[in-house]
Amino acid sequence: MSLIAAGGVFIVGVISYNKWQEYKAKKSVERAFASDHDDVLMRSGEEVQAPSARHEPSFSLDETPLPDAGSGAYAAPEHVEGDLPAPSFAPDAEETDHAAHAADPAARAHHGANGAAPAAGAAGAASAGAAGAPSAPQRSADASVPAAELATSLVDPLIDCLLPLELEAPVRGEKILPALHKLRFVGSKPVHYIGLAVSGDWEPIVHGTVYTKLQGGVQLASRSTALNELEYSELVTRLRGVADEIGAEPHIPDMIEVMAEAKNLHRFVASHDAQLGVNLASNGAPWAITTLLGALEKQGFDVRPDGRYTMRDNEGGQLFSLSTNVTLAEETTPRLTLLLDVPCVAPARDGFGAMIACAKSLVARLDATIVDDYNQPLSDAALTEIAGQVKDFYAEMDSADIPAGSTRALRLFS
């Protein structure tokens, strides 16, 4: 009877403890989503010194496509390739247009033989989903400079949801880093932190520095998805726990506004997720993979274990990649595909020009022809027209304040 009574008391204690935890979590979420919180998105009059200051311009995507090049447009499911929609960037501090506009489906291109690399006869620019109006504050282009600019690249008002953390007292970096490391990702979205040092500069949090304020940021969108409600709810709950541990009070933006921003930004990313490819078709028998490896290494490609090859520039950055369009078990291939990830390569690096020059060099080395997905040869005039589309695409990204190849673009299109 004593054991039964003890067991009953234990069970009642466990149930009571769980109910108490549920009550605390419920109160935490209610407090986070209360209408009287300090909404960082609605602040005004704050200087850029505090990254929490936001301005709310809006993107709008022009449905007029660029002219197609090469062999014309042809259809493939789920991806829009070839024509590149033109965004415009119109600041509006009062309201953000969250209406979605349908993307122009006029040009869709077929994927390559391996199903991974879109072949570029026409302008194999891959973009998914509908064009929309992602909102984000306007900032100048990223520059690779230390201190404040590095901090802005980590917590970027244009692509992150800002999460100010008011500290009860100044703290040293080494005291708070273990707690902050507990919340580095929500789903697939990275969470970064910066701090206001006693020197007056916002900077990444490091050991040995004293900080008076903290700023968190969760990325609103990536190449694959936008931040969703479940991820945001998880973020709020976990951030409360981290804040309690380091002695800080978080200011949580309104979830509805954050979700609208995330969806708008993701529509912009999806409509500019462009990849350009050119195919090389053998003029004779298929190439033996072992022979092909030697030719590609002499051309300057880095061999990857997964059977893909990358071409790097003088600074070690990736310009474009190459696929054999066959599995690693195959011994021959009749076709190669060179692929440029357009938003990830800065215009100054001329990734498309380097890719075409490499393709022409391989044509002579391997006895091949540059063709589109229908095995129709691509003329120099067609390639020149595609190069013009690439130039226009870069101009569109610049106007959206997300220059191709910038830290901001690399974060969004990773």
Residue 281 within any structural domain of the chain: no
Q: What is the tens place of the pLDDT at every residue in 208-220? A: 999 999 999 999 9
Confidence of residue 28 (pLDDT cuts 50, 70, 90): low
* pLDDT given at position 25: 64
DSSP character string of 198-216 = TTS-EEE--TT-EEEEEEE
pLDDT at 184 over 70: yes
Residue 188 within any structural domain of the chain: yes
pLDDT at 121 over 50: no
More confident of the two residues 167 and 71: 167
Nearest to 362 by CA among 319, 314, 307, 324: 324
* pLDDT given at position 152: 80
Tell me how far apart the alpha carbons of residues 48 and 94 are, in angstroms, rounded to a whole number.
Answer: 18
* pLDDT given at position 55: 39
By the 10 Å C-beta count (0-12 exposed, 13-18 middle, 19+ buried), 363 is classed as middle
Residue 152 within any structural domain of the chain: yes
* pLDDT given at position 138: 36
40 in Cβ contact with 213 (< 8 Å): no
Residue 258 within any structural domain of the chain: yes
194 in Cβ contact with 177 (< 8 Å): no
Q: What is the tens place of the pLDDT at every residue in 287-303? A: 999 888 888 988 999 98
**How many structural domains comprise the chain?**
1
CATH number, domain of 50, equals 3.30.1400
Tell me how far apart the alpha carbons of residues 413 and 344 are, in angstroms, rounded to a whole number.
Answer: 7
263 in Cβ contact with 134 (< 8 Å): yes
* pLDDT given at position 44: 40
pLDDT at 126 over 50: no
Quote the percentage of the chain above a pLDDT of 70. 69
3-state secondary structure of 263: helix
pLDDT at 333 over 60: yes
Distance between alpha carbon 137 and the CA centroid of its chain, in Å?
Answer: 17
Which one of 33-37, 85-89, 311-315, 396-400 scores highest in mean pLDDT? 396-400
Please tell me the least confidently modeled range out of 22-36, 50-64, 271-285, 362-376: 50-64
45 in Cβ contact with 35 (< 8 Å): no
Query: Domain range spanning residue 203?
Result: 31-54+138-264
Residue 109 within any structural domain of the chain: no
3-state secondary structure of 305: coil
pLDDT at 67 over 80: no
Tell me how far apart the alpha carbons of residues 358 and 352 are, in angstroms, rounded to a whole number.
Answer: 10
Instruction: Report the pLDDT averaged over residues 169-190.
Output: 95
Residue 234 within any structural domain of the chain: yes
Confidence of residue 148 (pLDDT cuts 50, 70, 90): low
pLDDT at 323 over 70: yes
Please tell me the least confidently modeled range out of 19-33, 116-130, 162-176, 356-370: 116-130
pTM: 0.64
Tell me how far apart the alpha carbons of residues 89 and 136 are, in angstroms, rounded to a whole number.
Answer: 9
* pLDDT given at position 170: 95
Residue 408 within any structural domain of the chain: no
* pLDDT given at position 147: 56
Residue 185 within any structural domain of the chain: yes
Mean of the per-residue pLDDT values of the chain:
76
pLDDT at 361 over 90: yes
- C-alpha dihedral sign at 3, 5, 9, 15: positive
* pLDDT given at position 49: 42
More confident of the two residues 132 and 158: 158
pLDDT at 369 over 90: yes
Nearest to 252 by CA among 267, 268, 233: 233
Instruction: Report the pLDDT averaged over residues 69-77.
Output: 33
Instruction: Report the pLDDT averaged over residues 4-16.
Output: 90
* pLDDT given at position 327: 86
Instruction: Report the pLDDT averaged over residues 362-372.
Output: 92
Q: What is the tens place of the pLDDT at every residue in 302-314? A: 987 766 799 998 8
Confidence of residue 26 (pLDDT cuts 50, 70, 90): low
φ/ψ of 80, rounded to 5, equals: -110, 120
Confidence of residue 92 (pLDDT cuts 50, 70, 90): very low
Tell me how far apart the alpha carbons of residues 406 and 387 are, in angstroms, rounded to a whole number.
Answer: 20
pLDDT at 62 over 70: no
